[in-house]
């Protein structure tokens, strides 16, 4: 009986579902109608059979068709100017292929679970997640619903999910090498959030290149990837007797904050203190900052993410592909 549907024509019908599930035709229809009166258990069983056979109600089918052109962006931190830039790039690329962009903004420091249900209810064809932690339960749910997920600017190896990111390790190395070349020796770090790949890899790169030169990170503090956090971290680092002569920051806004602190301390940049950031947000090039930084190739990152989404040979259930793109060291006046 399990292969009942194979013997019939191509498209599975409600009648078949009804037969297999041992219920009336009406029940099948009701199972697909939210709010219809139907025993919870029975509905569950019908839906299971339908999935097994591959049946979709007409309403479900049109819903599917609509959402097939929709991509959901889950953005964690829109107040960091890097992400609006990503959003803008993504929106424009999607417009070109006549697709829609749904946006969810997460409150600070929350993971995706708070909106999982809403996102899945909208049944997008794919989800792009930036700067937010994806829980394994969400990852599992997406696999189950055949929705592709791509992490942008973050890599999570725990859940084996697609990811596109800048080569953060190399970026960290580039920053460190520049500082060494310019003669700085007391190189400190303003980190972001400890368990994020952007933080970890960038720091690893810096540490790596310093170690090669026989050095180490002079001091470090965490700035939570925010201006405020960077400001506090900068103050902490510069307030001690043996203050650093260079600070590598895990992103640009924190770097800008550190520059602001340095100014308050009366330090000349880059003579007394060199500062390097990461991202190359628009403000980095503003005259009052002139921040030396690692530019992330946002356009290419977005393109690669869409490539993964559009590649039919990559299945949602596959183990994730990790795409790493090189960043560019942009030298301005701060280092």
Q: Contact residues for DNA (CB under 7 A)?
A: 9, 13-15, 23-30, 32-33, 37-40, 42, 55, 57-59
Q: How many Å apart are CA 202 and CA 169, to the nearest integer? A: 5
Rule CB under 8 A: say whether 98 interacts with its own copies. yes
**For DNA, the closer CB: 53 or 291:** 53
Between 35 and 183, whose beta carbon lies closer to its own copies?
A: 35
> What number of residues does the chain have?
335
**How far is Cα 91 from Cα 96, in angstroms, rounded to an integer?**
9
Q: Quote the CA–CA distance of 80 and 61 in Å, as a whole number.
A: 38
DSSP annotation of 157: G
Nearer to DNA, 29 or 196 (CB): 29
In the complex, the smallest distance separating the C-beta of residue 97 from DNA, rounded to whole angstroms, is: 25
Identify whether the C-beta of residue 112 lies closer than 8 Å to the C-beta of residue 74: yes
| 66 lines the binding site for its own copies (CB under 8 A) | yes
Composition of the chain by helix, strand, coil, percent to 5: 45, 15, 40
Spatial distance between the Cα atoms of 60 and 71, rounded to a whole number of angstroms: 18
Residues of 60-70 as b/e, b for ≥16 C-beta within 10 angstroms?
A: eeeeeeebeeb
Candidates 100-108, 195-203, 297-305, 309-317 — which segment interacts with its own copies by CB under 8 A?
100-108
Residue 279 · residue 294 · CB < 8 Å? yes
Q: Contacting its own copies (CB under 8 A), which of 136, 239, 288, 328?
A: 288
Enter the tokens of residue 300: 């290419």
Q: How far is the CB of 226 from DNA (least distance, A)?
A: 49
Partner in contact with 254, chosen from its own copies, DNA, none, beta carbon below 5 to 8 Å by kind = none
By CB under 8 A, tell whether 242 contacts its own copies.
no
Which of DNA, its own copies, none interacts with 25 (beta carbon under 5 to 8 A by kind)? DNA
Chosen residue from 15, 26, 48, 62 binding its own copies by CB under 8 A: 62
118 binds its own copies (CB under 8 A): yes
Is 32 a binding residue for its own copies by CB under 8 A? The answer is no
Instruction: Find out whether 193 and 202 touch, Cβ atoms under 8 Å.
Output: no
- State the nearest-atom distance from the C-beta of 105 to its own copies, in Å: 4
d(C-alpha 200, C-alpha 168), whole Å:
9
The answer to whether the bond into 299 is cis (omega within 30° of 0) is no
Q: Is the peptide bond before 270 cis (omega within 30 degrees of 0)?
A: yes
Q: Are 255 and 277 in contact (CB under 8 A)?
A: yes
Tokens of 206: 């810096």
Q: Residue 13 binds what, of DNA, its own copies, none (CB under 5 to 8 Å, by partner type)?
A: DNA
Tell me: does residue 263 bind its own copies (CB under 8 A): yes
Task: From the list its own copies, DNA, none, pick the one residue 274 interacts with, judged by a Cβ distance below 5 to 8 Å according to partner type.
Answer: none
Contacted by 55, from DNA, its own copies, none: CB < 5 to 8 Å by type: DNA
Q: Which helix (H) or strand (E) holds 201?
A: helix 197-212
The pair of structure tokens assigned to 204 is 């690893």
Q: Which is nearer to its own copies, 75 or 165 (CB)?
A: 75
x-marked contacts with its own copies along 172-211 as a string, rule CB under 8 A? ----------------------------------------
DSSP-derived 3-state class of residue 222: strand
Tell me if 44 contacts its own copies by CB under 8 A: no
Q: Counting contacts by CB under 8 A, is residue 324 touching its own copies?
A: no
Instruction: Give me the residues that bind its own copies (CB under 8 A), please.
Output: 58-59, 62-63, 66-67, 78-79, 81, 83-85, 87-88, 91-92, 95, 98, 100-105, 107, 115, 118, 122, 227, 231, 256-257, 259-261, 263-264, 282-283, 286-288
């Amino acid at each position: 009986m399990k292969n009942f549907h194979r013997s019939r024509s191509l498209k599975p019908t409600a009648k078949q579902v009804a037969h297999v599930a041992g219920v009336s035709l009406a029940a099948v229809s009701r199972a697909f109608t939210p709010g219809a009166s139907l025993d919870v258990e029975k509905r569950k069983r019908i839906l299971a059979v339908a999935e097994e056979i591959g049946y979709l109600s007409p309403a479900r089918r049109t819903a599917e068709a609509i959402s097939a052109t929709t991509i959901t962006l889950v953005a964690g931190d829109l107040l960091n100017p890097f992400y609006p830039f990503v959003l803008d790039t993504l929106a424009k690329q999607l417009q070109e292929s006549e697709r829609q962009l749904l946006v969810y903004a997460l409150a600070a420091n929350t993971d995706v679970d708070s909106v999982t249900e809403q996102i899945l209810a909208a049944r997008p064809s794919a989800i792009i997640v930036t700067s937010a932690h994806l829980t394994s339960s969400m990852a599992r749910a997406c696999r189950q619903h055949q929705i592709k997920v791509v992490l942008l600017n973050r890599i999570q190896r725990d859940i084996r999910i697609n990811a596109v990111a800048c080569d953060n390790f190399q970026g960290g190395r580039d920053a460190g090498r520049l500082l060494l070349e310019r003669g700085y020796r007391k190189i400190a770090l303003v980190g972001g959030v400890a368990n994020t790949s952007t933080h970890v890899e960038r720091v690893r790169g810096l540490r790596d290149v310093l170690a090669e030169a026989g050095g180490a990170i002079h001091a470090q503090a965490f700035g939570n990837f925010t201006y405020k956090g960077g400001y506090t971290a900068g103050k902490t680092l510069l307030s001690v007797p043996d203050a650093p002569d260079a600070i590598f920051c895990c992103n640009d806004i924190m770097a800008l904050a550190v520059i602001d602190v340095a100014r308050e301390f009366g330090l000349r940049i880059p003579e007394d203190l060199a500062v390097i950031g990461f991202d190359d947000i628009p403000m980095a090039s503003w005259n009052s900052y002139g921040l030396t930084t690692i530019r992330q190739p946002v356009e290419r990152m977005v393109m690669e993410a869409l490539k993964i989404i559009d590649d039919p040979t990559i299945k949602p259930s596959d183990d994730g592909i990790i795409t790493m793109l090189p960043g560019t060291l942009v030298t301005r006046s701060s280092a």
